[in-house]
Amino acid sequence: MTLGIIGLICSGLALLAGLGSLVLAGITVLVTSTSRSTGAFYPLTVQSLVYTCAGLIGGGFCLYHSIRSLLGKPSHVLKMPPFWIFLIGYVVTLAIGLVLQATHQAVAFLPVTTVLIFLTAIFPALTLLTLGLHLLRQARWSTTWRRFTLALTSGATMGILFASLLELSATLLLAATGPSFNPACLNDPSNPVCQAGTKTLLIVLAVVVAPLVEETVKPLGVALLSGRLTSGIEAFILGMSAGIGFDLVETIGYISMGYSDWAHVALVRSGAGLLHGLGAGMVALGWYHLIRTKQRRLRLGFACWLYAVLQHALWNACGSLSLLPAPVGPAIQSWQLDLGFISFGLDELLILLLTIIFLVLFILIVRWLRAHYQEPTPASAGAADSSSGRPAAVGV
């Protein structure tokens, strides 16, 4: 009952935030259509649309499931299509983007560009989730659409909100210690006005602050459910869902900021779903150990959280190499691998290599989960629910 009421309140807040974002998106579209400042307003427009979708669509489904929970109605078991469907969709969408980019038509029609940007973020994230479900198909476990919806939406709303506020606070705090800090460097570190002290601050924010903050707050919505989860597998999948929700908002924002070269940015960020999904899944698994297990729970919980933080720090460190002092930073920034139709910097190649490594680790972790965690049989689960006086499958 308590979780249902909390879900009802949070979904209402998400809907209000979505309506506010929709108004902001309408204003930016109007300003863009009446001026020539597309470069300045288009990323804001896309980001507003992302928040609108997270608030209205995610909040709407959460409201539906929260009401059904309060009415005592069960939710269906989570089932997804095969992962290769989303993988094919991503490959096709990315190929269209690269062709448009090669023919200098990548931003010829912004509404189509916006749809393609959304798809290049959604398809790889769903590929990751459905691949995990596919690899776990032989394990005896389950979760519901209700829990999945709450996890996904919490990562896209609450996770983004808390991470933004905490990172902003850390930025202001660190900037107060260095009078030479220029806020313009946050979006363009290569700007000549960015001094060495400012670049050092940006490295600290990317490699230390962001991993600590984001990996801690992304699965908070799942942490609230940890006491009701039936297995470590369910905790991992729901945590991964929260991370994917976080990734969708962040990745679409990054791609839109480089919209003139959006297919290139989308390709480099193909592994962002792995970064956020796998990290949040591990942290949620750590919460499960802290709350539901007795043996080595502190050690295992901390180890899961530390893995997610170190993985994120390594990813951000590769993306921050160009900020290193001369001559290393400028040399890395000037080096390019030109393939004719597309080129990659050294930091981008390292991120693509990390994507492959993270994919291998993801498969190994999922197989380990399948071998070590099993959900109670339906008979024992039903007996447990009956002994507590609650009908099985009712609630969040």
Residues composing the chain: 396
Which single residue is written with the structure tokens 């040399």? 331
Q: Which residues pair with 343 in a beta bridge?
A: 338
Strand, coil or helix: 344: strand
- What is the structure's pLDDT at 395? 41
* Amino acid, res. 186: L
Amino acid 34: pLDDT: 66
Tokens representing 345 are 């910097």
The pLDDT of residue 336 is: 84
Query: By C-alpha distance, which of 239, 214, 240, 244 is closest to 225?
Result: 239
Please report the pLDDT score of residue 380 as a whole number.
Answer: 37
Q: For residue 37, which phi and psi values (nearest 5 degrees)?
A: -95, 50
Cα four-point dihedral sign 97, 102, 105, 106:
positive
- CA torsion 169→172→175→180, rounded to 10°? 160
The radius of gyration of the chain's CA atoms, rounded to the nearest angstrom, is 22
What pLDDT, on the 0 to 100 scale, is given for residue 36?
A: 58
- Looking at residue 107, its amino acid is V
- Mean pLDDT of successive 10-residue stretches along the chain, which has 396 residues: 83 92 86 64 88 94 91 90 95 92 82 92 95 88 91 94 93 74 65 68 90 94 84 93 96 89 90 94 92 81 94 94 82 83 88 95 93 56 37 39
Cα–Cα distance measured from residue 84 to residue 284, given in angstroms and rounded to the nearest whole number: 26
Q: What's the pLDDT score for residue 116?
A: 93
Neighbour count for residue 340 (Cβ, 10 Å): 6
For residue 196, the model assigns a pLDDT of 63
Helices 59-70 and 2-33, axial angle in degrees (round to 10): 160
To the nearest 10 degrees (0 to 180), the angle between helices 210-217 and 272-292 is: 60
Taking the C-alpha atoms of residue 367 and residue 390, their distance in angstroms, rounded to an integer, is 33
| Helix boundaries (H) for the chain | 2-33, 38-53, 59-70, 83-102, 110-135, 145-154, 160-176, 196-204, 210-217, 220-223, 232-257, 262-268, 272-292, 297-319, 328-334, 346-372, 378-387
CB 186 within 8 A of CB 167: no
- CB-CB contact of 314 with 225 (8 Å): no
Task: Decide if 351 contacts 315 (C-beta within 8 A).
Answer: yes
Kindly state the tokens that stand for 26: 């309408």
Domains of the chain, by residue range, sit at: 1-74, 81-376
d(CA 189, CA 370): 43
Is residue 259 within 8 Å of residue 233, measured between CB atoms? no
What pTM did the predictor assign? 0.89
Do 154 and 9 touch, CB atoms closer than 8 A?
Answer: no
pLDDT of residue 164: 93
3-state SS string over 147-185?
HHHHHHHHHHHHHHHHHHHHHHHHHHHHHHCCCCCCHHH
The single-letter DSSP state of residue 144 is B
Phi/psi at 125 (5° precision):
-65, -45
Q: What is the DSSP letter of 103?
A: T
